[in-house]
């Protein structure tokens, strides 16, 4: 939710409204410093929202409908290029398998419509790979275009530079030195044009955001989720549905020499993220289509070369049916729901409320600040955040001293834990009138069940009618 909305959607819409909600622009926020995020992808949404408002589309839900549809159409490039790459390297039977997996793997429809830079950069990586394979002996201008596509992916997600490094290293290993240099030139040109140019326009320093991003991650590398180096291999083994996932991983590693351009860029990307301390599931998503693509090719070739399909024919057929059935169930369930439903619908419920310039948020049970997606409010109220580090008495004293215009109109309680006690404590200072309760969706409940780190917050909304 953080990267999906608060670093893309909210930031872009706030620029349209001339608010700059996160303080990214020195032109709108005097104390702004480079936050360490690329403006490229967020800026595209700014232009989209600006265009939609120019033609009279201002409703947040309608805007998000256009955002999701655009991403859905854009994501089909992954299927197309995956099919073409596989067909070019092998045969139509393998290509059809890859195309079906890239289209119908249970998580793809859900992920591909979201504003996750780790997913949005994938079609550019696939496109670059297809062009390099399509014309192996192409001219320098052709590979300069390949570099530009890799550069666009870099502007969306900085870490794809490791994929690009593996891409160019493969060209050098194959003695395509001029093509490798042309690819490098295209990437550098694109990075300077967009990343460096935008940063220079805003901060008067090229690559200010890239520098901020590197320094931030070096400083806080151990402040997030720390997991062992093999965590991403376990992740692949799980989300690709075992035992088929194990066949795919075996196929991926078995095809490293024959299909080096598919293997080495992904492998270098995997190695970097496997040994970098901060590990989050979404970080590894850019190479997932390459795991599926090369895994399918390699698994099929292992099957035909080793002859174990004939020996273990019945177990293999059972695995195939088990995979297809479970994947279909997950696909249907996940494709017709969305995450953080309680937060989104809570804001949609409050949309249009005129006494909402200030909002009180109680997330003391969770302990950490829980951001509300104010984009759906169609306004930007100030949030008073009450966490376990914030004393209720001191907060209420400050509110009593504040002018009437700065008093919160509504309070949101996140999480159901200790709700009665928290509400009773708040009632000692405010007159509360019950509005509604919003429950999390199935995906949120399921994600919390398999990993309690994921938020699964019930939302209670009360109107504040006055102070006591």
Instruction: Please name every residue paired with 461 in a beta bridge, in sequence order, or none if there are none.
Output: 412, 436
Percent residues over pLDDT 70 in the chain: 95
**Burial annotation 390-412 (CB, 10 A radius, 16+ → b, else e):** eeeeeebeebeeeeeeebbbbbb
Question: H or E element: which one contains 466?
Answer: strand 459-467
Contact predicate 315/244, CB 8 Å: no
What digits encode the pLDDT tens for the residues 169-205?
999 999 999 999 999 999 999 999 999 999 999 998 9
Whether 16 has a pLDDT exceeding 90, the answer reads yes
Q: pLDDT tier at 264 (50, 70, 90 boundaries)?
A: very high
Average pLDDT over residues 253-264: 94
Q: Look at residue 389 in the predicted model and tell me its pLDDT.
A: 61
This prediction's pTM? 0.92
Q: Per-residue confidence at 56, pLDDT binned at 50, 70, 90?
A: very high
Q: Which of 184, 192, 127 is nearest to 153 (CA)?
A: 127
Span 91-123, pLDDT tens digits:
999 999 999 999 999 999 999 999 999 999 999
More confident call, 63 vs 313: 63
C-alpha separations of 369 from 137, 177, 395, 428 in Å: 54, 51, 15, 22
Q: So what's the pLDDT on residue 60?
A: 94
Alpha helices in 351-441 (DSSP H): 392-401, 419-427
Q: Say which residue, 314 or 375, is predicted with more confidence.
A: 375
pLDDT of res. 197: 93
Q: What is the mean pLDDT of the chain?
A: 89
Three-class DSSP category at 77: helix
Kind of pairing between the strands at 410-414 and 459-467: antiparallel
Pairing between β-strand 410-414 and β-strand 358-362 as defined by DSSP bridges: parallel
- The pLDDT of 224-232, averaged and rounded, is 86
Residue 300 is encoded by which pair of tokens? Answer: 């099929």
All structural domains of the chain with their residue ranges: 64-335, 341-467
Higher pLDDT pick, 151 / 356? 151
For residue range 280-295, what is the model confidence (pLDDT) as tens digits?
889 999 999 999 999 9
> Stretch 249-260: mean pLDDT, rounded?
93
Q: How far apart are CA 76 and CA 130, in angstroms?
A: 14
The helix or strand, by DSSP H or E, that contains position 256, with its residue range, turns out to be none
Backbone angles phi, psi at 359, to 5 degrees: -130, 130
Q: For residue 308, what pLDDT is reported?
A: 63
The per-residue pLDDT for 302 is: 86
Mean pLDDT of 345-366: 85
How many CA atoms, within 13 angstroms, populate the side-chain half-sphere of residue 411? 24
Report the alpha-carbon angle 19-23-29, nearest 5. Answer: 75
Per-residue pLDDT at 452 exceeds 80: no
Residue 413: what are its φ and ψ, rounded to 5°? -100, 120
What is the residue whose two structure tokens read 């002996």?
A: 137
- Which strands make up the sheet holding 382-386, listed edge to edge? 382-386, 358-362, 410-414, 459-467, 430-438
Bridge pairing between strands 382-386 and 430-438: unpaired
């Amino acid at each position: 939710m953080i990267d999906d909305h608060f670093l893309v959607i909210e930031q872009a819409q706030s620029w349209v409204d001339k608010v700059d909600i996160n303080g990214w622009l020195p032109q709108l926020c005097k104390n702004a410093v480079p936050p360490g995020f690329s403006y490229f992808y967020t800026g595209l949404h700014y232009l989209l929202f600006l265009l939609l408002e120019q033609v009279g589309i201002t409703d947040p839900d309608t805007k998000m409908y256009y955002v999701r549809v655009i991403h859905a159409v854009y994501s089909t490039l992954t299927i197309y290029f995956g099919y073409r790459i596989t067909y070019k390297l092998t045969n139509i039977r393998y290509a059809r398998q890859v195309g079906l997996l890239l289209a119908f793997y249970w998580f793809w429809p859900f992920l591909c419509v979201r504003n996750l830079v780790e997913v949005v950069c994938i079609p550019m990586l696939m496109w670059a790979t297809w062009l390099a394979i399509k014309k192996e002996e192409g001219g320098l201008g052709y590979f300069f275009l390949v570099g530009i596509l890799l550069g666009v992916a870099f502007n969306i997600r900085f870490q794809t530079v490791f994929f690009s490094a593996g891409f160019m290293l493969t060209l050098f290993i194959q003695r395509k030195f001029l093509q490798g240099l042309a690819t490098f030139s295209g990437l550098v040109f694109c990075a300077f044009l967009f990343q460096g140019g935008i940063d220079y326009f805003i901060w008067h320093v090229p690559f200010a955001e890239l520098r901020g991003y590197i320094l931030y991650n070096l400083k806080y590398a151990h402040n997030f989720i720390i997991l062992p180096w093999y965590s991403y291999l376990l992740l692949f083994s799980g989300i690709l549905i075992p035992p088929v996932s194990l066949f795919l991983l075996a196929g991926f590693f078995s095809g490293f020499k024959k299909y080096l351009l598919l293997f080495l860029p992904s492998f270098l990307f995997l190695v970097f993220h496997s040994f970098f301390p901060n590990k989050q599931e979404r970080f590894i998503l850019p190479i997932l289509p390459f795991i599926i693509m090369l895994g399918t090719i390699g698994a099929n070739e292992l099957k035909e070369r080793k002859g174990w399909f004939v020996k273990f024919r019945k177990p293999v057929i059972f695995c195939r049916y088990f995979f297809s059935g479970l994947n279909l169930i997950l696909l249907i369930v996940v494709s017709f729901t969305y995450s953080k439903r309680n937060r989104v619908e809570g804001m949609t419920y409050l949309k249009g409320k005129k006494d909402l310039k200030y909002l009180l948020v109680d997330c003391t049970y969770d302990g950490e600040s829980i951001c509300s997606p104010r984009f759906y409010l169609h306004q930007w109220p100030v949030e008073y955040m009450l966490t376990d580090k914030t004393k209720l008495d001191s907060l209420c004293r400050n509110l009593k001293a504040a002018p009437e215009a700065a008093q919160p109109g509504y309070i949101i309680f996140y999480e159901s834990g200790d709700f009665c006690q928290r509400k009773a404590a708040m009632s000692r200072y405010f007159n509360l009138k019950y509005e509604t309760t919003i429950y999390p969706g199935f995906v949120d409940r399921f994600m919390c069940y398999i990993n309690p780190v994921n938020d699964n917050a019930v939302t209670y909304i009360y109107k504040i009618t006055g102070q006591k």
